[in-house]
Amino acid sequence: MPSSPSDSRPLVELRAVTKSYAEGDSVREVLSGTSLALHRGEFVVLLGRSGSGKSTLLNLISGIDQATHGEILVEGRDLGRMPERDRTLLRRERIGFIFQAFNLLPTLTVEENVRLPLELLGRSSAEASARARELLERVGLGARANSFPDRLSGGEQQRVAVARALAHAPPLLLADEPTGNLDEETGGQVLDLLEGLTRQGHACALIVTHEPAMAERADRVLTMENGRLVERPGGARGRGTP
Ligand SMILES: Nc1ncnc2c1ncn2[C@@H]1O[C@H](COP(=O)(O)OP(=O)(O)OP(=O)(O)O)[C@@H](O)[C@H]1O
Ligand SMILES: [Mg+2]
């Protein structure tokens, strides 16, 4: 894969990030000084027990939520110093987010949900439609383009959420348990798609999962433990995948 000068700069950088939530009179610290650098071309898995702060970390990186202390940079831009509007634009243009709860819009059809990121970026209707159809085919839902999300099973909704997150080919893909509702075979196909598009597009994917087996295909494996990230190489590194 050709590398450009911008590759040396991390796509995402966390510097001593803490995140606390106030609960009644007490304060709960979820992240306690987390540092991390993610680069384009990396397929990264994030493990950790329930409640350890995985979704919190994704929300911070996407700018949906803000850190209590520390800095988070995406493509060199400090999220904490950006106005809300710029964070929204950055998220729309540069990030694809597969939410743990899917967050599909119930009043839009499956195809309209997948077209939405492209339409928000001002792409033509023809382009948005062609891309949405292509991705829906790839997640096995070509025949359901005109259905509404509430007519779909949990796993089908999850696959729509995957297609939507990939629609604008973002350099950064954040996925919160993207295969949590899928059987092994369908989950494997979704992972193939995520990994394939990440590697083809020289993007970076950070994928939360409870399945340790996913570490086999990752370049890096991060585990959230007591508010900090512990890292080890993934199986793909050992096989020499770039
Ligand atoms: N808005 C909030 N207010 C208060 N506490 C919160 C808030 N959001 C998250 N938390 C707390 O932060 C901790 C981490 O939550 P988070 O959702 O990041 O966990 P997780 O690792 O994604 O867990 P799971 O695997 O169950 O999805 C939890 O103890 C949760 O109760
Ligand atoms: Mg979570």
**What is the per-residue pLDDT for 7?**
61
Ligand 2 center to residue 206 CA distance, Å? 13
> Measuring from atom 24 of ligand 1, which residue has the nearest CA?
50
Instruction: List pLDDT tens digits, range 50-100.
Output: 999 999 999 999 999 999 999 999 999 999 999 999 999 999 999 999 988
Q: Domain residues for 38?
A: 5-238
| Residue 242 scores a pLDDT above 60 | no
Q: What is the CATH number of the domain that holds 199?
A: 3.40.50.300
> Quick one: pLDDT band at residue 1, thresholds 50, 70, 90?
very low
Instruction: List pLDDT tens digits, range 179-237.
Output: 988 888 888 888 888 998 888 889 999 999 988 778 889 999 999 999 999 998 888 87
DSSP annotation string for 183-215: -HHHHHHHHHHHHHHHHHTT-EEEEE-S-GGGG
Residue 65 CA, closest ligand 1 atom number:
1
Q: Tokens 């839902």 identify what position?
A: 141
Integer angstrom CA distances of residue 129 from 98, 103, 139, 155: 20, 20, 16, 23
**Ligand minimally distant from the alpha carbon of residue 54:** 1
| Residue 239 scores a pLDDT above 80 | no
b/e sequence 65-89, b meaning 16+ C-beta within 10 Å: eebeebebbbeeeebeeeeeeebee
Give the count of domains, the chain.
1
